[in-house]
A and B are shown apart, each in its own frame.
Chain A
Amino acid sequence: MKGYTAVAPDGEAIFYEDRKRWFWTMSLLYPLQPLLGIWLHWLTGAEGWLLLPLFGGYVVAPLMDWILGEDRNNPPEAVVVQLDRDRFYRLLTYIVVPLHFVSLIGAAWWAGTQDLSSWALVGLAIVTGITSGLGINTGHELGHKKSRLERTLAKIVLAVPAYGHFWIEHNRGHHRDVSTPEDPASARMGESIYKFARREIPGAFRRAWAIESERLTRREKPVWSTDNQILQSMSLSAFLQLSLLILFGWKMIPFLLLHNVFAWWQLTSANYVEHYGLLRRKDDKGRYERCQPHHSWNSNHTYSNLVLFHLQRHSDHHAHPLRRYQSLRHFDDLPTLPSGYFGVYLIAYVPWLWYKVMDRRLLALPHVSGDLDNVNIDPDKHERIREKYAQAAST
């Protein structure tokens, strides 16, 4: 195993080995799950195998998170520069880009050329969409970096889930506005995921378009031009999906529609759980305070972090957006999710259960300390939530 040596500021010699080094390759294997399901379908003839990624995502991952628990280990700060420069880690994020294409094209080929029952076609479209949603995660990690190569790869991989505006929306919009009522990608207390999706999906697109339009206007270029970075990625999506339609026929219409919706739904799910109810306060000049680690829900669950390039160490990510995945840190006293994302998504899909689990956690946070003024609340639920907690306080 590769080790890193450094000298701490107090003169102490440090030696660090990343025990997770090779386990990060799991982030490469997860996008290949639909192909594994297809292979098992081919071997056995049982269509049920096509749904294998649902099992890998929503049964295996929460179970493994429960069994393996959390990893609170942080790399020593003195080795972070070396860790960031180690090309191994970024190589994994490069390799996974073509794998997302292979996964979608492979699944589309199977859907278009095999005589699948209707439910199997629907199921395969859904699991492929969920898997392409992981492509947004890959694009997320790559898109936060400064190098032209990584940014270009981000735009390319975002063509798979047909979510080309994400790069601008997330980096320039969501990070700026996170955990404020103005952010369409930060969920409010009392807002169900289904209501959130209706605000987040169009709101995020509008914000990305506005940011890119402003940039192009400053450059004195037309918005509808090849310089539009949203259109660049979306053209690639259109080329990819039209090619699949021409190659594999009419079945691609329902397949790709479902695929796209479920890929976007993955991002909606992540956004929903990442900042639920959290609020940055305004200073006396009316400016929002800087994004601190306690403005994001964090999860240290080992297994799901390994398949998501550490996305769940979200508190450090928002406080320091350019930090590479291998260097993201755990802090004490963070807003903490009860499981990894795959497990908490299942809770989020049942709104009453989500409120039951999360509202209590939200109000118990040290910086909230039961005060609803410190919470980002759905305006439609404001009165009801205030009444509920006023009653709870008086009894």
Chain B
Amino acid sequence: MSTFRCPECGYQYDEDSGDTHEGYKPGTKFESLPDDFACPDCAVRFKDDFVEA
């Protein structure tokens, strides 16, 4: 399980915990997030922009 980070605002998507507020259950892989996934905090960085922390 990995963590991916938004390079603009520092939001972290942790695959272990998912993001329940956004509806991504714990254990949801980053790669299975929708293709149009935008950072839930700043919305100006997208899936391709995220970096593995």
Contacts and interface: CB of A to CB of B under 8 A. Distances in A.
A216 B23 contact: yes
Interface size class of A (residues with CB under 8 A): 20 to 34
Nearest to A229: B21
Contacts of A374: none
Contacts of A319: 44
Interface in B11-48: 11, 20, 22-24, 38, 40-46
Contact of A219 (B11, B23, B38): B23
Contacts of A291: 44
B24 A176 contact: no
B52 interface: no
A176 B41 contact: no
A290 B44 contact: yes
A172 B24 contact: no
Contacts of A215: 22-23
Residue among B11, B20, B42 with the highest chain A CB neighbour number at 10 A: B42
A217 B43 contact: no
Given A320-B8, A321-B9, A175 B23 contact: no
Interface of B: 8-9, 11, 20, 22-24, 38, 40-46
A286 B45 CA distance: 16
Chain B contact surface mostly: loop
A322 interface: yes
B42 A175 contact: yes
Interface in A314-360: 318-322
B23 A217 contact: yes
Nearest to B11: A146
Contact of B41 (A146, A216, A220, A290): A146
Interface in A63-115: none
A321 B45 CA distance: 11
Nearest to A323: B9
A3 B22 CA distance: 40
A58 to B, nearest CB: 33
A171 B22 CA distance: 14
A176 B23 contact: no
A218 interface: yes
A319 B45 CA distance: 10
A241 B34 CA distance: 39
Contacts of B20: 219
B42 A321 contact: yes
Contacts of B11: 146
B23 A322 contact: no
A172 B8 contact: no
A293 B43 CA distance: 16
A173 B41 CA distance: 12
